[in-house]
């Protein structure tokens, strides 16, 4: 069993002021500093370790490699005509088209109706939105 005590000095100033108001007391007695306000006990078998720090850049590299493969294998042919270099997505000039599709796939996920590649579609539409804004 792990025990954790909370003392008056552990509270922020707003919490201390509110406590003093509720107790209709002042800090003159000094007991609030020496006696724990709360004692929390927790079974150590229930304590989970915090995850180690995350390398966001490394995760992004892995994700971007995944997205490159996804785009190459699933969208390049889908949006080209007769294997030409023309891309149907290039005729879309309004970036809001991309945002509408982000919303479409996000809502599908939020409504527990996600399909296999919805996260990839969201990421790709965000990238297309970003590219259209830059042009």
Q: 26-60: per-residue pLDDT in tens?
A: 555 566 677 888 888 877 777 777 777 889 999 99
Structural domains of the chain, count: 2
Q: What is the pLDDT of residue 4?
A: 81
Residue 51: inside a domain: no
3 state DSSP class of 58: helix
Measured distance CA(129)–CA(105) in Å, rounded: 15
- Shared domain for 109 and 78, answered yes or no, is yes
Measured distance CA(128)–CA(126) in Å, rounded: 5
Q: Say what the pTM is.
A: 0.58
Q: Mind listing the pLDDT tens digit for each residue in 96-121?
A: 999 999 999 999 999 999 999 999 99
Residue 34: inside a domain: yes
Q: What is the mean pLDDT of the chain?
A: 84
- Shared domain for 34 and 100, answered yes or no, is no
Residue 11: inside a domain: yes
Q: For the purposes of burial, counting CB atoms within 10 Å of the CB of 121, is it exposed (0-12), middle (13-18) or buried (19 or more)? A: buried
Q: What is the pLDDT of residue 78?
A: 75
Contact by Cβ (8 Å): 10, 35: no
DSSP state of 11: S
- Shared domain for 68 and 12, answered yes or no, is no
Expressed as residue numbers, the domain containing 129 is 56-134
Check whether 95 has a pLDDT greater than 60: yes
- Shared domain for 33 and 97, answered yes or no, is no
């Amino acid at each position: 069993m792990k025990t954790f005590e909370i003392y008056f000095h552990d509270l922020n100033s707003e919490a201390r002021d509110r406590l003093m108001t509720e107790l209709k007391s002042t800090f003159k007695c000094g007991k609030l500093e020496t006696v724990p306000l709360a004692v929390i006990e927790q079974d150590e078998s229930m304590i989970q370790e915090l995850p180690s720090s995350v390398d966001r850049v490394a995760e992004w590299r892995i994700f971007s490699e995944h997205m490159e493969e996804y785009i190459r294998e699933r969208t390049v042919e889908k949006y080209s005509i007769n294997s030409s270099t023309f891309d149907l997505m290039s005729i879309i000039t309004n970036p809001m088209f991309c945002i509408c599709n982000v919303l479409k796939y996000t809502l599908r996920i939020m409504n527990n109706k996600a399909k296999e590649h919805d996260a990839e579609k969201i990421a790709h539409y965000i990238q297309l939105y970003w590219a259209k804004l830059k042009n």
